[in-house]
Amino acid sequence: MQMEKSKVLVVGASGYIGRRIVKASLAQGHETYVLQRRDVGLDIDKLQLLLSFKAQGARLIHGSFSDHRSIVDAVKHVDVVICTISGSTSKNHNMLLQLKLIDAIKEAGNIKRFLPSEFGMNPARMGHALEPGNVTFEVKMKVREAIEKSKIPFTYVSANCFGGVFAGNLSQFDTLFPPRDKVCLYGDGNVKAIYMDEDDVATYTIKTIDDPRTLNKTLYLRPPENIITQRELVEKWENILGKKLEKHSISAEELLASMKGVEYEGQVALGHIYHIFYEGCLTNFELSEEDEEEAFKLYPDVPYTRMDAYLKHYL
């Protein structure tokens, strides 16, 4: 007998990952609610996006973080809450708004699973992170502590590197497009990273919400053919482009020195680049059998996107 699918509330649905979570939730047959916050105001693009969710079958439900009762009422409609609020790379840490969401979930008392806004590196493994990027992880850990203190069932999703941020530009700092002539390698370019298609991130995320194997655990997205070095990523683009790129390297010392004088957001980004491409923080550890799971092993049926296919969109 097939288990009834959970009802899902997505908070932050108009964001980069949130819109994909809504799509994946609907595609996998979940009754899906989208929190319609009052701060949409006169943002016509957000309004049109929310209306498109409705046209696809999602239900819009009003709520505001300044109105505790409205959030409690929204939460009571569903079984699972997924938050995708962004803002952790800026000084305005919107992600701390999740503390209000946690209070509402605790009061409602009906939520079977909460997935907070993470979807990057596992903050529990980044206690050594450089300033000011360490604040990103500290904020996420504050949210985790509140979840666990409130005894709310959870799953944390570690999605590593979004393709649109790290793959499409060959991991270059100052562009979102792949270079066609010259490329900068971090060190020798041979440190393994993990690149993810954002739609696949959403698919794996929704797969986990009714899975008892991921309850109160961290789910890592590590599809084996997407665990590649920056140099291998560049080679994939060169094969697509039909030409070799001129390569130059920046040492770890040079990268760290370049952080001086860069604006706050840039310092955060460069710090993350250091940890990923010099330390190898995405791949230099083994998963804990006790409280960590690997999505590819749990859901081998998901046809994930390889990075050569991802890069072809940029040709």
Catalytic residues: 140
- Measure the N-to-C terminal CA separation of the chain; round to a whole number of Å: 47
For 238-257, b/e burial (b = at least 16 CB within 10 A) is: beebeeebeeeebeeeebee
Contact 229, 167 (CB under 8 A): no
- Please check whether residue 156 is in contact with residue 83, taking contact to mean a CB–CB distance below 8 angstroms: no
